[in-house]
A = this chain, B = another copy of it.
């Protein structure tokens, strides 16, 4: 595990992880409050909320996959600096807007504009996560632990942001196609950075997971 130059002020990542876990846990769960019991009885009611359930599933997956990537990223370092604390706060802010834009796209019945700002909020989250990745990457570089796979992941990250921009533009003409692109990008990240972690699965063995 990297321990950057002593000239910087460093904190253990324990509380950064605990606080992020708490915030992401609340974000991912309060979205369920958006699901409103339909007026219709029986199967008709269930069908009426099917699109809402799909959007909920999409937002849940998006947030859950980001949590897994957050887990991967912070797991790489044992201590972090101020820059990382603030980048993390920025990411949490962006992520905390998703429940709002989820209810936005649901309330507006997935009209073009609501789908674009839903995609825009995902880009914003992606962008702040990129800043977090860069600030952790900086710590890793200082410790000489930056790897080939990190660069591959960063490239994947840029590609995703590009696809979200395509989704925003497409949303005005084909909102459902835009939602499809968002779904695909979400699915791509399900296998996030498998290769990256091979290495410290080994290094962390002796101390049972580096914790």
Residues of chain A at the chain B interface (Cβ within 8 Å): 1, 3, 6, 8-15, 17-19, 21-30, 32-33, 35, 37, 41-43, 45-46, 57, 60-61, 64-65, 67-68, 71-72, 75, 78-79, 82, 85-86, 89, 92-93, 96-97, 99-100, 103-104, 107-108, 111, 113, 117, 190-191, 194, 197-198, 201-202, 204-205, 208-211
Complex Cα–Cα for A22 and B68 (A): 15
A33 to chain B, nearest CB (A): 7
- CB of B32 within 8 A of CB of A33, answer no
Known A-B contacts A32-B100, A42-B113, A209-B12; the reply to A64 vs B92 at CB < 8 A is yes
- CB of B41 within 8 A of CB of A64, answer no
Known A-B contacts A3-B205, A107-B37; the reply to A19 vs B8 at CB < 8 A is no
The oligomer's copy count stands at 4
Most chain B CB inside 10 Å of its own CB: which residue of A12, A22, A60, A99: A22
- CB of A41 within 8 A of CB of B108, answer yes
